[in-house]
Amino acid sequence: MEPRPTAVRPPIHLRIADDIRMQIERGELPPGAAIPTLAEISERWSCGMNSARGAVALLRAQGLITSGRGKAPVVRIPPRRVIRSSERHQIEKDLALKPEAERGAIGEAETNLNMSIGAQRFSSQYDQVEAGPELAKVFGVEPTTLMLRRQWEATDPNTELRLSWSVSHIPLDIVKSNPALLDPNNEPWPGGTQHQLSTVGVEIMKMVDEVTARMPTTVEAQLWGLPEGVPLIFCRRISIDGDGRVIETSDADYPADRTELHFVTPLRPWPKRRQA
């Protein structure tokens, strides 16, 4: 192993990028403001054009400035953040018991996105696939077990960009007694998945959300219209019944620059007589 160098002066382009980042964080360069040109950087930091270009490329990869095609880069204007709260889980469960008119009036997507349902273009795709090794472990089934797979996408008809995307897997055995659940023409189903499951006698008692993040692939970045340097948050929601049986996984991606996931954990009170 090489010894770690101590207090090495970082390359000039890193220092320039950090100086500009701090100007952005302090608000001296507000959203929409042009950052210094390559010539200005070169003069102010006494560096070559390659270092100036390197600094700008780094700020772009960190998601701090726009990647204008030929245009001067500006400090990125953060998009409006959509908050998705785990409190929806109980709301959706309670909705499943409401009359159909009420269930139909409240679509999940309505409250999830900064755009009314009417303005979005929805597509859903149903098919049946084998669980495969990864989902087999989650569901505790054989990898060859047949699953109902449902994929949903919403796009903005003006930009054709993706607004939401998710894919759900349910063991076919759980839902096949109600053939209406296998038909995508019944979308949007009033009350959503929790009501659908109620028609086959399943009640969800616990949701587990598993969250991580990664950089998008080229195709994903194009589909969502993601600027450079913006990760995708990945959330797998696992629905579990009262017997601890995994009923559904629902995988969704969320662009990190426009999404906040909130998870609420109520705590049980301490007993009255404290031992402390």
Q: What stretch of H or E contains 218?
A: helix 218-224
Does 28 sit near its own copies (CB under 8 A)?
A: no
State whether the Cα torsion 184-164-113-91 is positive or negative. Answer: positive
* Closer CB to its own copies, 183 or 210, in the complex: 210
Find the shortest distance in angstroms from Cβ 99 to its own copies: 7
> Distance from first CA to last CA of the chain, Å, rounded?
49
Does 266 sit near its own copies (CB under 8 A)?
A: yes
Are 125 and 184 in contact by the 8 Å Cβ rule? The answer is yes
Does 50 sit near its own copies (CB under 8 A)?
A: no
Q: Which stretch binds its own copies (CB under 8 A): 10-18, 42-50, 104-112, 178-186?
A: 10-18
| Structure tokens, 119 | 């303005």
Q: Which stretch binds its own copies (CB under 8 A): 43-51, 120-128, 165-173, 224-232?
A: 224-232
* Closer CB to its own copies, 37 or 217, in the complex: 217
Distance of CA 24 to the CA centre of its chain: 25
Q: Which of 259, 248, 130 is nearest to 193 (CA)?
A: 248
Angle between helices 12-25 and 49-61 (to 10 degrees): 50
Q: Which of 181, 163, 165, 159 is nearest to 247 (CA)?
A: 181
**Interaction pattern, residues 241-260, with its own copies; x per rule: CB under 8 A:** -x-------------xx-xx
Does 153 sit near its own copies (CB under 8 A)?
A: no
Point out which residues bind its own copies (CB under 8 A). 4, 10, 14, 17-18, 21, 58, 61-63, 81, 86, 89-90, 93, 96-99, 159-160, 195, 198, 203-219, 229-231, 233, 242, 256-257, 259-271, 274-276
